[in-house]
Structure 1
């Protein structure tokens, strides 16, 4: 029986929890352009919709990286936010070229991670599948459903290195070992699983550090099947992802 998942509580508007974007913006405020490495259907559209609902004062455009140059506004500033959990150099380079080709006034933010909000969303995705305690505070006396977690990413060793900080943040939340491993290259998830089990972790779970469009369909399920482990869903349109997008945009306004 899985434990109930506690979603994040709305944060108050003042103090250190102030809104990432002012509630009102001038008509000529920069356009927020979400750039996805995949197509603009499915999860990318869902994220854009959540950002629009949460921030109606922002004009939000969604585009694939391939179509970015044609999506940038003419004669108006834009903030391009890559829909990535880590700064994949190949994708970031494509975005930079597209912005240069667009000829407008646009700045590109960093990727969405690493960030504590990503770790929070990963925790919730695990809890939704009964693979983690749902609440760090209220149920500390309940044993964990797994002994260790593999943080799955795509992009080879560079990606594994880039998500290490997120793995540390997730380990702190779960009070369990969390090891980052590649879903699309070797040494990958099987090697990570072998090392964890050699250290005494019998029950494993995979937490995909993916928004959902970065990898082929079924890659997480296949990896979990290879090591006889459970797995969470990708981050998808979790509220934390939408908030990180808004924060990336808001940081550019502030600067």
Structure 2
């Protein structure tokens, strides 16, 4: 293990689903394969262990970059994670951006739709995201919907929908498209792992529903990219050395 590089400490939302927890660990196994020697660790905001406070304590003074396994910004990124770092006396640790929006995320979503059987140009797509009471997080979902439409490139609309805290829900979005005459509607599951929300995304009446993003290679590359970006931001923020006057 290369101890000269900061630990990549990934923090997932957390779930009671054993399959959901396993999916987070499997994704990070893919990241380790991309970055041999990098110390990649996993923790959770709640509902699964280790929780973030335990993982921060386990760093035992090691430098680290906190990479949220969150598909968009919002309250967790703006408030919860900075507060957790401050409470641990580690406010100096770099905090990476959310995974999305990003074209790599759109690539993973498009591939999952194709694997679910949706032919190119088959009809509209509903992007089923977790949803948030934070408008900024929902705006990120809308931007991801636009990126997915660009990635699909078949002229079909992609409608952002939310499984909680915002409207339309995926079921409502699918029903509205059916009412408008679209019989072949697909749902792109904008979630990392199986669990309660993924089960709801699969119960909309759409013809095709993609699997959660899971261990898709583009997602693993995106996790590594966010780590690199946060490290680069730290290096750029360091003050330049003060020149020593000539004697």
Q: Is TM-score (shorter-chain normalized) higher than 0.5?
A: yes
Residue 252 of structure 1: how far off its partner (Å): 2.0
1:74 maps to which residue?
Answer: 60
2:159 maps to which residue?
Answer: 179
Distance in structure 1 (CA, Å) of the matches to 2:6 and 2:41: 11
**Based on CA coordinates, which of the two structures has the bigger radius of gyration?**
2
Task: Give 1:128's match in structure 2, choosing from 98, 104, 115.
Answer: 115
Moved over 3 A (4+): 156-160, 197-200, 213-217
1:48 maps to which residue?
Answer: 28
Distance in structure 2 (CA, Å) of the matches to 1:111 and 1:214: 20
Distance in structure 2 (CA, Å) of the matches to 1:156 and 1:248: 22
Q: Establish whether residue 148 from structure 1 lines up as the match of residue 148 from structure 2.
A: no
TM-score normalised over the length of structure 1: 0.77
Could you list the per-position Cα deviations for residues 44-83 of structure 1 after superposition, in whole angstroms to 9, with x for gaps in the alignment? 1001111111101311111112421221223222100011
Distance in structure 2 (CA, Å) of the matches to 1:171 and 1:160: 17
Distance in structure 2 (CA, Å) of the matches to 1:183 and 1:74: 38
2:201 maps to which residue?
Answer: 220
Does the CA contact (< 8 Å) of 1:123 and 1:132 recur in 2? Answer: no
Q: Establish whether residue 110 from structure 1 lines up as the match of residue 86 from structure 2.
A: no
Q: 1:173 to 1:202 in 2, by over 3 A?
A: same
Distance in structure 1 (CA, Å) of the matches to 2:195 and 2:75: 14
Could you list the per-position Cα deviations for residues 125-167 of structure 1 after superposition, in whole angstroms to 9, with x for gaps in the alignment? 000011133xxxxxxxxxx3x2110000112463442211111
Could you list the per-position Cα deviations for residues 88-139 of structure 1 after superposition, in whole angstroms to 9, with x for gaps in the alignment? 3146522222211222341111110000011110010000011133xxxxxx
TM-score normalised over the length of structure 2: 0.79
The alignment covers a number of residue pairs equal to 217
Distance in structure 2 (CA, Å) of the matches to 1:172 and 1:228: 21
Q: Which runs of 5+ in 1 are unaligned?
A: 1-24, 134-143
1:204 maps to which residue?
Answer: 185
Distance in structure 2 (CA, Å) of the matches to 1:94 and 1:213: 23
